[in-house]
Structure 1
Amino acid sequence: MRTRIGLSARFAMLAVVVLACVLGMVALVWDRQEAMHREAQELSVQAISEFSSTRLLSRGQAATVQLAESLVNPVYYFDLDAIGGAVRAVLRQPDVSYVIVYDNEGQVIHDGSPDISTYGQTMSDPFAYEVLGLEAAHVQSNDTLVDIAAPIRIGDQRLGGVRVGYSLAAVKAEEARVGGVMASRLQAIGRSQLLWLGVLLVGMVGLLVTIGVVLQRSLVSPVQQMADAARQIEAGTLDADVPASRRKDEVGDLMRAFAHMRDSLVRHDRDIRRMAYTDALTGLSNRLAFRELLDERVAQGHGSAHQLALLFADIDDFKRVNDTIGHDAGDEVLMQFSGRIREVIDRHGGGGSELARFGGDEFVILLQGLAGEDDIRPRAGRVATALVQELSRPISVHGRQIFLGISIGIALFPDDAADVPALMKNGDIAMYQAKVAGKNCYRFYSRVMDQAVERRVRMEQDLRGAWERGELSLAYQPVYRLDDGRLVGAEALLRWRHPEHGHVAPALFIDVAEQSGLIEAIGPQVLRAACMDARGWQEEAPAARQLFVSVNVSARQLRAGDLATQVEAVLRETGLPPSRLHVELTETAVIGDEARVSGLLARLRNSGVKVWLDDFGTGFSGLSHLRRVPVDGVKIDRSFIADVLRDPDDLALTTAIIAMAHSLGIQVVAEGVEKEGQYALLRERGCDMAQGYWLGQPMPDEEFRRLLA
Structure 2
Amino acid sequence: MKLSGGLRTKFLLLMAAALMVMLLMMALMLKREEQMQGDVVDVTRDAMQGVVSNSLNRRGEGMVNQLAESLTNPLYYFDLDAIGELTAAALRQPDARYVLVYDVAGTIIHDGSEEIPSYGKRMDDEFASEVTASTTMLTLFNDHVMDVSMPIMIGEERLGGVRMGFDLEVAKGFQERAVTEMRQRLGVLGHRQLIWVGLVTGSLVLIGIVLLWLIQHWLVRPIRQLADSARQIEAGRFELDLPTSRRRDEIGELLRAFSRMSESVARHDRDIRRMAYTDALTGLSNRLAFREALDEQLLQMRGDGQQLALLFADIDDFKRVNDTLGHDAGDDVLVQCSARIRDAISRHAGDNALLARFGGDEFVILVQASSRDARDVREIATGLAEALVETLGEPMLVHERQVFLGTSIGITMFPEDASTAASLMKNGDIAMYQAKVAGKNCYRFYSRAMDLAVERRVNLEHELRGAWERGELSLVYQPVYRLSDRVMVGAEALLRWNHPKHGQVAPSVFIDVAEQSGLIEVLGPKVLHTACTDAVRWQQLHPGSEPLSVAVNVSPRQLRSGGELADVVAACLRETGLEPGRLHLELTETAVIGDEAHVSDELARLRATGVKVLLDDFGTGFSGLSHLRRVPVDGVKIDRSFIADILRDPDDLALTSAIIAMAHSLGITVIAEGVEKAGQYALLRERGCDQAQGYWLGHPMPGNEFLALLQQ
TM over 0.5: yes
| 1:441-520 correspondence to structure 2 within 5 Å | 444-520=445-521
SS at match of 1:565: helix
Distance 1:473 1:490 in 2: 15
Deviation at 1:533, TM superposition (A): 0.9
Residue in 1 that maps onto 2:295: 295
Equivalent residue number for residue 339 of structure 1: 343
Alignment partners' CA distance in 1, 2:393 and 2:573: 51
Deviation at 1:591, TM superposition (A): 2.8
Q: What is the 5 A alignment of 1:159-558?
A: 225=230, 228=233, 263=263, 266-267=266-267, 270-271=270-271, 273-274=273-274, 277=277, 285-298=285-298, 309-312=308-311, 314=313, 335=339, 338-346=342-350, 354-356=354-356, 360=361, 362-367=363-368, 379-387=376-384, 409-413=410-414, 416-433=417-434, 444-544=445-545, 546-558=547-559
2:671 aligns to what? 669
Give, in whole Å, the separation in 2 of the partners of 1:389 and 1:519: 31
Deviations 1:14-40 (A, max 9, x none): xxxxxxxxxxxxxxxxxxxxxxxxxxx
Q: In the alignment, residue 384 of structure 1 is paired with which amino acid?
A: A
Aligned to 2:635: 633
Structure 1 pair 535–384 and aligned structure 2 pair: CA distance change class (3 A):
same
User: How far apart in 2 are the matches of 1:442 and 1:610?
Assistant: 37
Structure 2 spans left out of the alignment, 5+ residues: 1-224, 247-255, 322-328, 396-404
Report the TM-score when normalising by structure 2.
Answer: 0.55
SS at match of 1:687: coil
Taking a change above 3 Å as real, the CA distance of residues 269 and 482 of structure 1, as seen in their structure-2 partners, is: farther
Counterpart for residue 198 of structure 1: none
Q: 1:428 to 1:272 in 2, by over 3 A?
A: same
The aligned amino acid for 2:628 is L
In structure 2, how many angstroms separate the alpha carbons of the residues matched to 1:223 and 1:365? 47
Number of the residue aligned with 1:573: 575
Alpha-carbon spacing, 1:557–1:244, altered in 2? closer, same or farther (3 Å): same
- Partner secondary structure for residue 642 of structure 2: helix
Paired residue secondary structure (2:675):
coil
- Match 2:702 to one of 682, 700, 703: 700
Paired residue type of 2:377: A
Deviation of 1:267 (Å): 3.7
| CA-CA distance at 1:609 after TM superposition | 1.0
Q: 1:587 aligns with which of 586, 589, 592?
A: 589
CA distance in 1 between counterparts of 2:230 and 2:519 reads 63
Q: 3-state DSSP class of the match of 1:622? A: coil
Instruction: Kindly report which structure 2 residues correspond to 1:553-564, keeping only aligned pairs within 5 A, or say none.
Output: 553-560=554-561, 561-564=563-566
Cα pair 2:340 2:391 within 8 Å, conserved: no
Question: How far 1:345 moved relative to its partner?
Answer: 3.1
Equivalent residue for 2:250?
A: none
Displacement of 1:621 in angstroms is 2.8
Structure 2 counterpart of 1:424, which letter? M
Matched residues in 1 for 2:632 and 2:379: separation?
50
CA–CA separation in structure 1 for the residues paired with 2:646 and 2:453: 36
Question: Are the counterparts in 1 of residues 316 and 408 from structure 2 also a CA contact under 8 Å?
Answer: no
Residues 287, 699 of structure 1: alpha-carbon distance in 2 compared, 3 angstrom cutoff? same
Cα contact 1:313–1:409 (8 A) shared by 2: yes
Partner of 1:166: none
In 2: Cα distance, 1:506 partner to 1:694 partner? 21
Alpha-carbon separation, structure 1, partners of 2:443 and 2:621: 25
In structure 2, how many angstroms separate the alpha carbons of the residues matched to 1:440 and 1:566?
31
User: In the alignment, residue 517 of structure 1 is paired with which amino acid?
Assistant: G
**Percent identity between the two aligned chains:** 64
**8 Å contact kept, 2:310–2:365:** yes
Tell me how far 1:361 sits from its aligned partner: 7.9
- Is the contact between residue 281 and residue 335 of structure 1 (CA under 8 Å) also seen in structure 2? no
Distance 1:226 1:662, change over 3 A: farther
Partner in structure 2 of residue 687 of structure 1: 689
Q: Secondary structure at the match of 1:608?
A: coil
Residues 222-248 of structure 1 show CA distances to partners (whole Å, capped at 9, x for unaligned) of 9964664566x6xxxx656899999xx
Residue type at the aligned position of 1:342: S
Counterpart check, 1:624 vs 2:623:
no
Aligned to 2:253: none
Distance, in Å, in 1 between the alignment partners of 2:342 and 2:419 is: 29
Corresponding residue of 2:193: none
Instruction: Indicate conservation of the 8 Å contact 2:617/2:640, yes or no.
Output: yes
Q: 1:394 to 1:288 in 2, by over 3 A?
A: closer
CA distance in 1, matches of 2:275, 2:650: 57
Looking at structure 1, the residues matched to 339 and 676 of structure 2 have their Cα atoms a distance apart, in angstroms, of: 48
**1:407–1:434 contact (8 Å) kept in structure 2:** yes
> Which secondary structure state, in structure 1, belongs to the residue aligned with residue 430 of structure 2?
helix
613-622 or 655-664, larger mean C-alpha shift: 613-622
For 1:669 and 1:260, the matched residues in 2 are separated by 82
1-structure distance, mates of 2:377, 2:228: 56
Distance in 1 of aligned mates of 2:241 and 2:654: 80
CA shift, 1:490, in A, is: 0.3
Q: Please tell me the residue identity of whatever aligns with 2:459.
A: R
User: Partner letter of residue 309 of structure 2?
Assistant: L
C-alpha distance in 1, partners of 2:429/2:366?
12
**Cα root mean square deviation, aligned:** 4.6
* Pair 245,596 (structure 1): closer, same or farther in 2 beyond 3 Å: same
- Provide the rounded CA distance (Å) in 2 between the counterparts of 1:396 and 1:362: 15
- Residues paired across the two proteins, number: 458
- Of 542-551 and 574-583, more deviation after overlay is shown by 542-551
